[in-house]
Amino acid sequence: MKITPKVKVCLEDFDLKHEIDQLTASQQNAGAVVSFTGVCRDEDGLLDALELEHYPGMAEAKISEYAQSAIERFELLGLTAIHRFGKIAVGDNIVLLVAVARNRQAAFDGANYVMDFLKTNAPFWKKEHLKDGSKGKWVDAKDADNSALKKWQS
């Protein structure tokens, strides 16, 4: 049976336990559940919030593509990917990945793989809102994120 990921791009927050329960409810053969939550940090006291913009349609399509590819590559039994947009305050959730597999390595790798591709290839952009009220800048892409992709090219 073909396994399809659950992918959501939305304004509202998500609930980790709910997403895990939903994904594992019908899984008798799963021995590993790995989750990753990306949270808005304050950059050592500078930031109040991040504003996330996305390219509607393409954002969902790209995450779905990487999620489906992870399911096939790591033989995952289930995968959920949720990415929020809009204004996200320090401490609030930005992104969630849950990967379910028979064994832990596949689950770790599956979540990691989707995150690496999502960071560099899914059309989302972050703008800073500074604590002192001044206008923040758009967040720059990081070379480390681009080089993270190389480990999957084999």
Q: Is 46 among the residues that bind other proteins (CB under 8 A)?
A: no
Q: Nearest distance from residue 145's CB to other proteins, in Å?
A: 8
Q: Is 53 among the residues that bind other proteins (CB under 8 A)?
A: yes
Query: In terms of C-beta density within 10 A (0-12 exposed, 13-18 middle, 19 or more buried), how is residue 22 classed?
Result: middle
Of positions 7, 20, 34, 52, contacts other proteins by CB under 8 A: 52
Q: DSSP string covering 43-82, please?
A: TTTTEEEEEEEE-TTHHHHHHHHHHHHHHHHHT-SEEEEE
Of 77 and 129, nearer to other proteins (C-beta) is 129
Could you tell me which stretch among 25-33, 39-47, 113-121, 129-137 binds other proteins (CB under 8 A)? 113-121
Q: Is 118 among the residues that bind other proteins (CB under 8 A)?
A: yes
Query: In terms of C-beta density within 10 A (0-12 exposed, 13-18 middle, 19 or more buried), how is residue 137 classed?
Result: exposed
Binding site for other proteins (CB under 8 A): 38, 52-55, 57-59, 61, 83, 94-95, 115, 118-126, 138-141
